[in-house]
Structure 1
Amino acid sequence: MSRDYSEHQKKIIGRYYDNRESIDSQKLSELVTNLYLETSEKKKAKHWERAEKMMERLEVPKSRIAHILEKEDPAILAELVKDIESGKALK
Structure 2
Amino acid sequence: MQTRAVVFRSDDLTLEGQIIIPEQPRAALLLCHGIPGGGPPDPTDEGYEGFARAMAASRFAAMWFNFRGCRGARRYRRRGRSRRRSNDRNARGAGHVGGGR
What is the TM-score when the length of structure 1 is the normalising length?
0.26
Which is higher, the Rg of structure 1 or of structure 2? 2
RCO (CA 8 Å, sep 6+): is it higher in 1 or 2?
A: 1
More strand by share: 2
More helix by share: 1
